[in-house]
Amino acid sequence: MFAALKAKYAAVRDRKITTLFDASRAHQFAVQTDGLFFDYSKTNIDSETLALLLELTKLTGLSNMRAAMFSGKKINITEDRAVLHTALRRSSGAVTVDGQDVMPNVLATRARMMKFSEGVCSGTIQGQGGAYTDIVNIGIGGSDLGPAMAYLALKPYSQGPKVHYVSNVDGAHVTDVLAGLDAQTTLVVVASKTFTTIETLTNAETALRWMGQSVANPADQFVALSTADDKTAAFGISPDRVFGFEDWVGGRYSLWGPIGLSLALAIGSDNFTALLNGAAAMDDHFQSADGTKNLPIMLALVGIWHAQVAGYTTRAVLPYEQRLSRFPAYLQQLEMESNGKSVGIDGQDLTVPSGPIVWGEPGTNGQHAFYQLIHQGTHIIPCEFMIAKVGHEPNLSHQHQLLQANCLAQSQALMLGRDLDAARRYCSLQRL
């Protein structure tokens, strides 16, 4: 199948995307669900290519693998583990791993998280100096990127203490975050599944010493997101402030469980539950929608066409939304950490790239930094433009309209391009 896709690409690689447009293309090459709209009509994918890509999902057994993942089968064969971040987003049903239903424990832990979050937000759970005003989340990788990204994205829904994130073992990071905070009203959340991650534990010990300068029992103002009860106890953290999760939760997919506690503390239990429900709705869509109407599948197939078939080495994620400024970095880990391999699941050397280099920055900042290379350089860079239909600042709606105009204009310009004659006409008009 890859040979057929490669041959197809060779035949169309020099074709202009604009030649593909007719009255139906914009509707046919797009997916919409739950308020999300994915438009891939502005790619060099046609109906024949689409059929080949869909056939690829059948040959690779996508439907069986999908069912195995959601049911708790151990699809992570190298570590003999299930892959069940999806269970963290569910509110009912049963998921069995090694003969045990994991959902009761998931729901019990979530209930503890929500109760703790409500206590902190209401002020019934306090620090030595009174109600908590600040949360410091110490983690790295998936224990930082997910909640840090979501905290910025959901800032309009904040109702709890202000949250700060520390990840780099460089002492400058923890120093700058702690500077100006009141230790007596600061809660520190240490996120490490094994409680052995060197960067996280080093920063946690620094925070503990800082806390000890002002607080009689500094460990009382710490929370652990970990499965290592013995190590968290040795650190001095009370068992009722330890929130654990199973080994079938991969770090980079862990936002939806205890690793998301800092986010729940910021936006409140109701909003955090709404976030989980939204993710669960997408899980349901992924399991039930057919082929071209399935948004995750189409995102994946467009990515395969660009990276593995066309050989485009990078993927630019360009959110025209300041609060999604950390989203490209979050996707960076999800894709590059997951697909950063040189062998396939069968242990054989790969003959195509396992994935692209993911990068990006928010628009319109990127337009004044790297768009020149995207538009006029020699690299072909697939770009994913993201824009919200409505902003959160109704009193600044004119700025959101300007943002939308920039996003649409940049994507249009990238697709249409400008040949030499058009450039000359443009320059002539500018001189008038």
- The pLDDT of residue 78: 86
Q: Is the separation of the CB atoms in 317 and 360 below 8 Å?
A: yes
- The pLDDT of residue 178: 98
Structural tokens at position 404: 């939308």
Burial class, 278, CB count within 10 angstroms (exposed 0-12 / middle 13-18 / buried 19+)? middle
Q: Is the separation of the CB atoms in 41 and 21 below 8 Å?
A: yes
Residues 6+ apart with CB under 8 A from 158: 266, 267
Residue 118 CB neighbour total at 10 angstroms: 17
Q: What value does the mean pLDDT take over residues 288-293?
A: 94
- The pLDDT of residue 346: 83
The amino acid at residue 318 is: L
- pLDDT tens digits for range 404-426: 999 999 999 999 887 777 767 76
Phi, psi of 76 (to 5 degrees): -85, 85
- The pLDDT of residue 259: 97
Percent of the chain scoring above 70 in pLDDT: 98
The β-bridge partners of 97 are: 100
- The pLDDT of residue 426: 63
Burial class, 407, CB count within 10 angstroms (exposed 0-12 / middle 13-18 / buried 19+)? buried
> What kind of fold does domain 2-70+289-431 have according to CATH?
Rossmann fold (3.40.50)
- The pLDDT of residue 251: 87
Confidence of residue 429 (pLDDT cuts 50, 70, 90): low
- pLDDT tens digits for range 231-284: 999 999 999 999 999 989 988 899 999 999 999 999 999 999 999 999 999 999
Q: Is the pLDDT of residue 39 over 90?
A: yes
- pLDDT tens digits for range 137-170: 999 999 999 999 999 999 999 999 999 999 999 9
Burial class, 317, CB count within 10 angstroms (exposed 0-12 / middle 13-18 / buried 19+)? buried
Whole-angstrom Cα distance, residue 353 to residue 356? 7
The pTM score is: 0.93
Nearest by Cα to 317 from 308, 285, 309, 302: 302
Please write down the HEC assignment for all residues of 365-404. Answer: HHHHCCHHHHHHCCCCCCEEEEECCCCCCHHHHHHHHHHH
Q: Which CATH number fits domain 85-267: 3.40.50.10490, 2.60.120.10, 3.40.50.12280, 2.60.40.4070?
A: 3.40.50.10490
Q: Is the pLDDT of residue 344 over 90?
A: no
Q: Is the pLDDT of residue 295 over 70?
A: yes
- pLDDT tens digits for range 177-224: 999 899 999 999 999 999 999 999 999 999 999 999 999 999 999 999
Instruction: Give the angle 250-253-258 at the CA atoms, nearest 5°.
Output: 85
Nearest by Cα to 42 from 58, 30, 50: 30
Q: Is the pLDDT of residue 40 over 80?
A: yes
Residue 14 CB neighbour total at 10 angstroms: 7
- The pLDDT of residue 418: 74
Structural tokens at position 114: 């929500």
- The pLDDT of residue 430: 62
Q: Where do you find CATH 3.40.50.10490 in the chain? A: 2-70+289-431, 85-267
Helical (H) or strand (E) element with 56: helix 47-59
Confidence of residue 432 (pLDDT cuts 50, 70, 90): low
| SS3 (DSSP) at 95 | coil
Q: Is the pLDDT of residue 431 over 90?
A: no
Q: What value does the mean pLDDT take over residues 297-322?
A: 97
**What is the DSSP secondary structure assignment for residue 54, as one 8-state letter?**
H
Whole-angstrom Cα distance, residue 150 to residue 158? 11
Whole-angstrom Cα distance, residue 102 to residue 228? 19
Q: Is the separation of the CB atoms in 139 and 167 below 8 Å?
A: yes
